[in-house]
Amino acid sequence: MNQYVIETENLTKKYDGPAVVDGLNLHVPAGKIYALLGRNGAGKTTTMKMLLNLVRPTGGRITLFGEASAAFDKKNYYRIGSLIETPSFYENLTAWENLEILARLRGRHRRDEIEHALTAFNLDREKKKRFRDYSLGMKQRLGLAAAIMHEPELLILDEPMNGLDPVGIHEVRSYLLQLCREKGTTIFLSTHILSEIEQLAEVIGVMDQGRLLEETGLQELYRHNRRYVEFEVSDVRRASLVFERLFGISDYAVTGNGTLRLYEQLQRRAEINRGLLTEGITVSGVSVGAGKLEDYFTKLVGGEGIG
Ligand code: ATP
């Protein structure tokens, strides 16, 4: 099997003005959770709609499940579960009735699946309530229940945490992780809130103004979030030589005029400080800190940053 469940090549969408999705090359690996992160208007929803054949691309190619086809294959509707924008259901029907209609439309009416979907998103106790009386969070949870009910191989979820309270976010996160771990479901989700995906996604794509700025693994991202010890010194060049030659440290960065950041060397800071002094380098400050993922993203998208 192809290693990617979703792959796009130069995927582009233009309406009247400049491209809102601009030459996107996405690689969503099988059995992983991939988060598309971007500010409002970055083009995330449009991208997802193109993957689902709801919006026609202006250019580029989409490969789903390793099969490049000129037209969207209808059987994908059975293999994919999706939640795009605000979920819509019949207002005067209950959650069960709504899911039942959907299940029949999919040609797969199984009471156990409906029951499971409602229980998974804590809607099993609201059996009599009609959709019109649902809160925003409950509507969102019903949208998620509808997306997972037929046990799809791929989930495409646009802002799945929308409208959920912190407990709801935690529950949905745990459920998605479990789906991925136990069933091998591939999950492609979008968000503009960084903290929502930190304990969830394994791969992250950062999108801004229609472009994919970065596509990277979580481990790589954490490099930007590591703890460090920062030295303020009289001579940066000579201090780097001390780090490398005396202490065998190559994992450091020059972060400013006269400052160097050493990663993962917290316990050795006194020893390193002494080494610098012995070599005649004045140390005017030593501080410990952690790179913030938020700062990294702010730098990446420029200016305002992300949630
Ligand atoms: P949000 O988090 O706010 O939903 P997003 O990243 O999902 O943002 P999109 O909804 O894909 O972004 O919108 C990307 C850009 O495309 C926006 O500037 C939007 O105004 C524009 N856009 C979306 N749909 C249309 C349309 N049907 N006609 C014209 N422009 C559109």
Tens digit of pLDDT for each residue in 141-189?
Answer: 999 999 999 999 999 999 999 889 988 999 999 999 999 999 999 999 9
Cβ of 15 closer than 6 Å to ligand 1, yes or no, is yes
- 3-state DSSP assignment of residue 108: coil
d(CA 197, CA 61): 27
Which ligand 1 atom is the nearest neighbour of the CA of 85? 4
Put residue 209 in one of left, alpha, beta given phi > 0 → left and psi -120 to 50 → alpha.
Answer: left
Q: What is the pLDDT at residue 293?
A: 73
To the nearest 10 degrees (0 to 180), the angle between helices 166-178 and 136-148 is 10
Q: What is the pLDDT at residue 2?
A: 60
Residue 221 clears pLDDT 90, i.e. is over it = no
**Residue minimizing CA distance to atom 10 of ligand 1:** 45
Residue 235 clears pLDDT 90, i.e. is over it = yes
Cβ of 54 closer than 6 Å to ligand 1, yes or no, is no
Cβ of 205 closer than 6 Å to ligand 1, yes or no, is no
Cβ of 302 closer than 6 Å to ligand 1, yes or no, is no
Domain 4-221, CATH among 3.40.630.10, 3.40.50.300, 3.40.50.740, 3.90.920.20: 3.40.50.300
Query: Which residues of the chain are in CATH 3.40.50.300 domains?
Result: 4-221
Tens digit of pLDDT for each residue in 71-101?
Answer: 778 888 889 999 998 888 999 999 999 999 9
**Residue minimizing CA distance to atom 21 of ligand 1:** 20
Which phi and psi angles does 183 have, rounded to 5°? -110, -10
**Residue minimizing CA distance to atom 26 of ligand 1:** 15
Q: How far is the CA of 18 from the centre of ligand 1 (A)?
A: 12
Cβ of 280 closer than 6 Å to ligand 1, yes or no, is no
Would you state the structure tokens that stand for residue 180, as one six-digit string? 């991925």
Instruction: Specify the CATH number of the domain 226-290.
Output: 3.30.70.100
Is beta strand 283-290 parallel, antiparallel or unpaired with respect to 259-263?
unpaired
Query: Which residues of the chain are in CATH 3.30.70.100 domains?
Result: 226-290
